[in-house]
Structures are given as structure tokens and as C-alpha cells.
A and B are shown apart, each in its own frame.
Chain A
């Protein structure tokens, strides 16, 4: 099975900072990669699919890139409402594995 590894596991950054989270697949998943945001006590929300396509209604400060095995989620200017745990997921085939999550906090 393909493993999905996110880094870092957590980060603390200041408002306005550029934040980058990486997700690495143990084998290629082409662009079948999604990013989700889960705020504390809330339901996960789709941010990005197909590695780089922004889901409708998601602020443009979020962006995704990558293909194959290496992917990146970038928040161009961190806002207080972005405090959350972020998960990547590969969905090309079963098992449709999630990464372990990256917790983002405000410094």
C-alpha cells in the first residue's frame, strides 16, 4: 500500500507568514491528491483536489502544487482563521490513505 507522509507534524507561524506543508507518497499517485482542513471541533473541509485545483469558495491564499510523489500546500499569508489541522489524501486507488496531519498554530 502507498503511504502518505506529511511534514512537519506541527508548525507555529505569525499572522501574514507564508506557510508550506509537504506531503510525500511512497509511490506515484499522479495528481490524485487532495488537501483538507479540519478546524478544532469541526468537520473536515476540502481545500484542494487534483493536487492544485482550488475547491469553490476556498480563499485564494491557499494553493497546491506537485505531481507524482511530492506535493505542497501553501498558505500565502497566514490568517487567524487558518488555525487547523491539514491532511493530504491520495485517492487514485484503494486504500485512499490520508497523511497523518499537520497542525498549524499562530505564534
Chain B
């Protein structure tokens, strides 16, 4: 069974940085695009970022463009999200999700349990 385990969340001050990680297992990681989706408390789902299986193509929501960087290490089966210049509105549970195919133009068929990011002074 596909497993996705996020880590790295926590409390950070406005303007600070965090790096989220997502350890993947039980599938050939490099064959699939991966994504980050967030959900603020009591709110809906917001797509954040995606990248292709090779990591060569990356995509961002306008709300995070220029502040967040998605990356992957296929040798470690791990997805990352570097988050800089954090704002209160970035507070959310961040989910790592596997795309159905190599391209990020695929639905998200497996999701991690999420990691909570709280931006507050």
C-alpha cells in the first residue's frame, strides 16, 4: 500500500521559514508527479504546488509563488516544500499527495496524513 508521511510542520513566526518533507514508499517514486495541497482550519482544500516525476517541471499557486519551492530527491523517495516569508494566511494542514501519473496533469490518488503549519507571533 502506498505510504506518504509528512514531517516538518510546526509553529513559526511571520516572516520565518520551514521545510516540509514527505517520505514516500511502496511505489516507484520517480515515476509519479507529486503535489502539495493545504487546508486551513475549517476551510476547503487549496492546491499549492506540483512537480513532475523528474522534478523538471514545477507549478505553484499564485498565493505562494516566489515564496515556496517544491523539490524532490528521487534517490531518497522524498518530496519537499521549502516555505519562506511565511504569513499568517499560510497556516494550514499541508498534505503531500501522489499524482496518478508522471505528469502533474493527473488527479491525486493517495494523500498523506498531513502536517500542521502555524504561523503566529
Contacts and interface: CB of A to CB of B under 8 A. Distances in A.
Contacts of B59: 94-96
Given A43-B113, A96-B50, A32 B45 contact: no
A100 B104 contact: no
B107 to A, nearest CB: 4
A85 to B, nearest CB: 8
A98 B95 contact: no
A95 B109 contact: no
Contacts of B112: 43
Interface in A81-103: 85, 87, 89, 91-101
Given A43-B111, A46-B109, A101-B45, A94 B60 contact: yes
Interface string B86-121: 000000000100001000111111111110000000
B109 A55 contact: yes
A91 B45 contact: no
Which of B46, B50, B104, B107 is the most central at the interface, judged by chain A CB atoms within 10 Å of its CB? B107
A105 B35 CA distance: 29
Interface in A61-95: 85, 87, 89, 91-95
B62 A49 contact: no
B45 A36 contact: yes
Contacts of A34: 107-108
A101 B108 contact: no
By Cβ-Cβ distance, the 9 closest A-B pairs, closest first, are: A49-B107, A94-B59, A34-B107, A98-B45, A96-B47, A101-B44, A43-B111, A46-B109, A95-B61
Interface of A: 1, 32, 34, 36, 38, 43-46, 49-50, 55, 85, 87, 89, 91-101
